[in-house]
Amino acid sequence: MELIKKINDHIEEAEDFRSKKYPCDKGYITIGFGRAETKGLTKDESIYLGTGFQGLDNISIEDARYLLTNDILEISNVLSDKIDFFRYAPDHVKFVLTDMAFNMGVTGLHKFPKMLRHMKACNYSRAAQELLDSDYLLDVKGRAVKLHDVLITGSMDIDLQTCRDKFEVMEKRFSKLIEDKIQKAYEKEMAKNKQ
């Protein structure tokens, strides 16, 4: 249960609590800590909350945590069925996979075949590099940096804000490199056209 608590705490920080329905970055209507309307509520959740998702216009932080814990448990069960090494993986790997699946769905993980192969082989530094070499980094920014660092260090207690700051530094450095590369290509093309 300690792992579930660590994942809960991380997702709470990464997702930010919203008591009212809102469109997430991908356009899905969500509430609480990213519970999508398309997912709906289970029968037990509807009984617990006293309503279905359509009637859920406002949610308390306690109720949002209840839904988040249910989501994490469900994702963990699905990952145990869909990813052959998940049950036996160390907790920090389960942490990363569960967070990624929460963010993009379990099927989204299959867009990372190299990362999954490296995880299965316990080559966590290569798996971590796959995170940084993907569009996922640009989608979730500091969150991806944190997952990278979790894989590298094995610690799930890495500060998300520090990772967000790291991403900003990386972004500035890379944007300058890209600008320089574009400028050099432009100058080369101009020089070629003058000949």
Name the residue ranges covered by the structural domains of the chain.
Answer: 1-82, 86-195
Cα(180)–Cα(80) distance, integer angstroms? 46
Using one digit for the tens of pLDDT, what is the confidence trace for 69-85? 999 999 999 999 999 99
Domain covering 1-82: architecture: Orthogonal Bundle (1.10)
State residue 177's pLDDT score: 60
Using one digit for the tens of pLDDT, what is the confidence trace for 85-127? 999 999 999 999 999 999 999 999 999 999 999 999 999 999 9
Asked if the domains 1-82 and 86-195 are classified in one and the same CATH topology, the answer is: yes
- For 54: left if phi > 0, alpha if psi spans -120 to 50, otherwise beta; the answer is alpha
Mean per-residue pLDDT, 56-60: 88
CB count within 10 Å of CB 115 equals 25
Domain covering 86-195: architecture: Orthogonal Bundle (1.10)
State residue 155's pLDDT score: 95
Q: Does the pLDDT at position 44 exceed 80?
A: yes
Q: Does the pLDDT at position 181 exceed 70?
A: no
What is the overall mean pLDDT for the chain?
Answer: 90
**Residue 114: how many CA atoms within 13 Å on its side-chain side?**
10
State residue 42's pLDDT score: 87
